[in-house]
Amino acid sequence: MTNTTDSISGFRRLHQAGCFVIPNPWDLGSARLLAQLGFPALATTSSGFAWSLGRPDNAVSLEEALAHFRSLAHGVSVPVNADFEGGFANAPAEVAANVTLAARTGIAGLSIEDSTGAADSPLFEFTLAVERIRAARGAIDQSGTAVLLTGRSEGFIVGRPDLAETIRRLMAYADAGADCLYAPGIQTKSDIAAVVHAVAPKPVNVLVGSDFTTVADLADMGVRRISVGGALARAAWSGFLEAAKEIAQHGTFAHLARAVPFADINGSFTSKERAARNP
């Protein structure tokens, strides 16, 4: 988005009332198609981006992530939220330095998670986790950008599905300056409602990676933002693998016949490029 100030203010307005879906593209092409479908904002996906480079999740460098954010933020006309993983650092001061770099890429928001990547201790110690969010908040404030900060607690997806601890962390992240709270992996109505109630009036993001709910149901629970993480990337990989396996294993091409027509996709990008050349 060319005007970063407008992008950030527009993104913040989305969090003030109602419920919106913020889908997760993994490259500029998927981002442009999602924007054309009318979604009001987009969010990067660390897993989807890593897979596009032939790597597992969390195996992308800080420099690669920053270039990815810059590409998407300046390549679409809607705000972009950055999946900034754990801030690409452990110590709060280093998280702050990296957040400062991210805030310069044109993104409208970013998230910081509290997972360590270590199997025996998958979450940062509570006090350190809070200080990391506080450091990110300070870096954003110093940058003068007003980038929206999302605090994530990863217990439900790293083998520590403790609702009370998750809520304790999210409330602390809110107090430390997170604008939005997010606990990926919560799926039951009671858990989602408990999180929404605990951090109110701050908005909550819910991750939907399967058909366990609907936008209407989550809106009724008071959820403000819905993301899909790597699910759209997985859906794309599913179609690719089904078609490729059919060719490799059976020598037939039925899946290709069901693909979106060449002209439809090519036309979408052609019109976008034409508009970019003739603003």
Residues 140-171 have pLDDT tens digits of: 999 999 999 999 999 999 999 999 999 999 99
How many domains, the chain?
Answer: 1
CA atoms within 13 A on the CB side of 241: 6
| Greater pLDDT, 1 or 60 | 60
Query: What is the tens place of the pLDDT at every residue in 3-33?
Result: 799 999 999 999 999 999 999 999 999 999 9
Supply the range of the domain harboring residue 51.
4-229
Q: How far does CA 61 lie from the centroid of its chain?
A: 17
Question: Taking 70 as the threshold, does the pLDDT of residue 274 lie above it?
Answer: no
Long-range contacts from 233-240, C-beta under 8 angstroms, 24+ separation: 233/24, 233/26, 233/30, 233/45, 233/47, 233/48, 233/51, 233/52, 234/209, 236/26, 236/30, 237/51
pLDDT given for residue 3 in this prediction: 78
Place 279 in a pLDDT band, splitting at 50, 70 and 90: very low
Q: With contact defined as beta carbons under 8 Å apart, do 226 and 21 qualify?
A: yes
Reference 200, options 163, 227, 157, 170; nearest CA is 170
Is position 204 within any domain? yes
Question: Using the 8-state DSSP alphabet, how is residue 123 labeled?
Answer: B
pLDDT given for residue 270 in this prediction: 84
Rounded to two decimals, what is the model's pTM?
0.95
Is position 32 within any domain? yes
Task: Return the CATH number at 16.
Answer: 3.20.20.60
Is position 51 within any domain? yes
Is position 133 within any domain? yes
Q: With contact defined as beta carbons under 8 Å apart, do 194 and 167 qualify?
A: yes
pLDDT given for residue 276 in this prediction: 44
Average pLDDT, the chain: 96
Question: Taking 80 as the threshold, does the pLDDT of residue 36 lie above it?
Answer: yes
pLDDT given for residue 105 in this prediction: 98
Question: Taking 80 as the threshold, does the pLDDT of residue 213 lie above it?
Answer: yes
Is position 237 within any domain? no
Is position 265 within any domain? no
For range 49-72, the mean pLDDT:
98
Is position 260 within any domain? no
3-state helix, strand, coil in the chain (%, to 5): 50, 10, 40
Is position 266 within any domain? no
